Chain A
Amino acid sequence: MEPVVQFDNVNKSYGKHVAVDNLNLSIEGGKFVTLLGPSGCGKSTSLRMLGGFETPTSGRILLSGKDVTKVPPNKRNVNIVFQDYALFPHMSVAKNIAFGLELKGLDNQAIHRRVSELLELVQLQDYASRLPAELSGGQRQRVALMRALAPDPDVLLLDEPLSALDAKLRQQMQIELKAIQEKTGKTFMFVTHDQEEALTMSDTIVVMNKGRIEQMGDPHTLYGRPGSVFVANFIGETNLLRSTVVGTEGDVAALSWNGITITANPGGLSPRVGEYLYVVLRPEAIHCSAAEPTSGNRIKGKIRQRVFKGNHTSLMVEVGAGTLLNTLVHPSDVAQLNGEDIWVGWNPETATVIPDRHAHN
């Protein structure tokens, strides 16, 4: 199937600052794709280039197979949901949603039908004649979404649309957004710096950093098998164990981490002895127990800090002089860990090994 969106060697720089660095990306139709990264990573610039508000310094952007690199925003079949919604303050909800339809030249009856259909989708039928100023944040958000969906774009672009909402509403809107995407079957391209949002909604996450794609994949892969230190740190909480290779045998590598010997599966890497590697260990992959585990990696440690987080407790365990592991313990297991001395253990297969790019020893 032909991709709906294609970035083909796209570069964008402002003077000496490179915002987007040789971006190659193709996005399949009907997917919820998230561009995730810290501010200034080039995600919003990429979105604005696709919307037509920025022109790439070089490279091409294809929309449903057509080169749109130099096409103005009003002639592209993409619509944006802006961060602050950008609803027209002097127009009613219905007028806002009808705006794009009127410009498409639809007749009044068709416009009316489409507007009521969309209002019904987000249960705002009773608000058709209200002004945006008379709506709550969540309602404005929905109107902005429907306004952008109304002209039936090839891709719907969402530029951090949830960042203005409070935490509770944001979670609710995440679920609603995903449901709307599934119901309409549209391609959504969502930009955010919030890894939780990305994990909740996306079919595909594109992690960007310094104008480049760090890693692209489904949420499970990105969380479970991060491809770089940046991704491991950016998505979820993590323990990064910088270790030296001591020896390898097949799928097992013996590593030395701050003097502690552990084993890991180097995956596709074939590390040499003496080389530095990172072992990515998620807090929930670590098992804390009073008794020594019978298999896998196991280290004796002391509990240095307990942080109660409601549905779990976070334990900081010191496993060597000044070396801490962040672990996650379920409420039912906390009770047996009343002493200071405990064992931490993990299955080597649950950890991911990443090469240390910066070490050239």
Chain B
Amino acid sequence: MRTLLSDAPRASLTAFYWAFILYLLLPLTLMMAMSFKDANFVAFPIGEWTFDWYVKVMQDKQFLEACLYSIMIAAATTLAATTLGVWIAMLIVAEGIRGQVIIFALACLPAVVPGMISAISLRIFISTIDMPTGTAAIILGHTVHAVPFVVVMALTRLRSMPGNLVDAARDLGADSVVAFFRVTLPYLGPALLGGMIFCVLLSIDDFVRTFFLGGYRPTLPMLIFAKVQGGMSPEINAMATLVLVVTAAVGLYAEFLTRRARTR
């Protein structure tokens, strides 16, 4: 029998849930709303609405260049992290290799080390090997951070792979390289795509590592940070809104892909 008393925990749980959602979305909503404000400063009330800030952002050469730079770094990071990550995952599931647990632990370490520590140690590292700060150093830093995510995603998929798929390919005349590219890699496909999109998002989003390892060319977060220091303007809100919409769409798509890969 349902009573008000037995419903109370459920009702409070629901209330907390909605409070949490509000807490999550309110700042974002505010930021987005301000990007449509027809004035030079960020404050209530909004009064006049406009798309001018978006037009301005799209014509902002600095913004476009930073976008391009971020995308370039994200692409390079993704390529490097995916290659390394799949390779490490293959090592971990391979037979006859010792210390697979240690390999796995080491591969996952960068994901749990605080960004700050990671950034400082990377900075010390590159100056020790006389590597200049800038694009290459940023890519290195982002890759180190992204590899664990690829490893975990590839590993989950590899572990669900029937062991004799590769045997079957070998049996039908494929050497191990052909078997990898024609059977293992396509099998990893969906999980890998999800992992790659995750790499892209991690890289585009990264601020701390980029801050420590970057040169004079700003990435998108660096640019926005610099602009915020010059004072808030609805232009920044428009920029942030654009970034939010694009990354959220890509992120949701990645989640959809990995979900489908898991159920297939």
Contacts and interface: CB of A to CB of B under 8 A. Distances in A.
A88 B164 contact: no
B251 interface: no
Interface stretch (B23-31, B32-40, B98-106, B183-191): B183-191
B170 A73 contact: yes
* Chain B contact residues, majority secondary structure: helix
A125 B188 CA distance: 29
B124 interface: no
A147 B183 CA distance: 15
A316 B264 CA distance: 51
A186 to B, nearest CB: 16
Nearest to A87: B168
B187 A80 contact: no
A147 B25 CA distance: 54
B173 interface: yes
Contact of A73 (B171, B182, B189): B171
A72 B178 CA distance: 14
Interface string A91-103: 1000000011001
Contacts of A87: 168
B1 interface: no
Interface residues of B, number: 19
B173 A100 contact: yes
A53 B168 CA distance: 10
Contacts of A133: 264
A90 B189 contact: yes
Nearest to B175: A74
A53 B172 contact: no
B167 A72 contact: no
Contact of A103 (B162, B178, B187, B189): B178
B172 A151 contact: yes
B257 to A, nearest CB: 15
A104 B173 contact: yes
Given A74-B174, A103-B178, A88 B169 contact: yes
Contacts of A122: none
A88 B170 contact: no
Contact of B168 (A72, A75, A78, A88): A88
Interface in A55-83: 72-75, 78-80, 82-83
Contacts of A104: 173
A89 interface: yes
Contacts of B165: 86, 88-89
Interface of A: 51-53, 72-75, 78-80, 82-84, 86-91, 99-100, 103-104, 133, 147-148, 151
Given A87-B168, A88-B186, A100-B173, 5 more contacts: A53-B170, A80-B168, A89-B165, A89-B264, A151-B173
The 10 residue pairs across chains A and B that have the minimum distance between CB atoms: A100-B172, A103-B173, A86-B168, A86-B164, A90-B186, A73-B170, A74-B173, A82-B164, A80-B171, A74-B170
Interface of B: 162, 164-165, 167-175, 178, 182-183, 186-187, 189, 264
16 contacts: A52-B170, A53-B170, A73-B170, A74-B171, A74-B172, A80-B167, A83-B164, A84-B162, A88-B187, A99-B169, A99-B172, A99-B174, A100-B172, A104-B173, A148-B171, A151-B173
